[in-house]
Amino acid sequence: MPKQITRKFDHEKGKLRDKASNPDYRERFQEECGRLERGGTRGNRIVLAKMRNLGAARRKIMAQDKEKAWLVFESRLGSLPLKVNGLTFSFKYSPTSLATANGLPSSTTAQKLLPDLRGKVQERLRMTKGRFLAAEPWGREKTDTATGKTRTEWYLTFKTFLPTSQTQPWRSFFKRLRLDPVET
């Protein structure tokens, strides 16, 4: 036990001796007016100004927004009437509703057309998804006149192979990433 106490005292004596032999930096610090350069490298700090750039975190958020925007777009397409080969089609159409929507003479002709039409729509939906995923979001700064704050609105312009029968306000369906499908 006494040996451990002497070790502790020896350690403290050594610290005091080192402190006494090293020069005091306070005078030099006062001479340089508080801007003492200690050397070394600067630490990496996360600053909000750097986050405005498309860093890794921003790209991750944008990818999540893009996935959610696709789900919103796909769900809206599922409920809207589409124009395919001159016919009006919806995913929820039965043969009789397809016949009445397009003015077909009977539901048996609509029943023959419906599987082929569904296959074409599924293929066009797959092609639209490919264009959607390949599209890059672009931003435009918009200044609010009331508050004077500037914010960036993000848009996603892509080619869609499924034109709707009526025009849709796509930009208002998903606020964080405004959809702008170009119908062919």
Residue 21 lies in a domain: no
Q: What is the pTM of this model?
A: 0.61
Confirm whether 85 is domain-assigned: yes
Two structure tokens written together for 20:
């006494």
In a domain, 76, yes or no: yes
Residue 11, domain member (yes or no): no
pLDDT at 51: 53
Query: pLDDT below 50 — which residues of the chain?
Result: none
The pLDDT of residue 8: 66
Parent domain of 130? 54-183
70 C-beta neighbours (distance < 10 Å), count: 19
Distance of CA 49 to the CA centre of its chain: 18
Query: For residue 163, is it within any domain?
Result: yes
Distance in angstroms (rounded) separating the CA atoms of residues 160 and 80: 14
Dihedrals φ, ψ of 137, to 5°?
A: -70, 145
Residue 112 counted as domain residue: yes
Q: Please indicate, yes or no, if residue 17 is contained in any of the structural domains.
A: no
Q: How many domains does the chain have?
A: 1
Q: According to the model, what pLDDT value does residue 126 have? A: 92
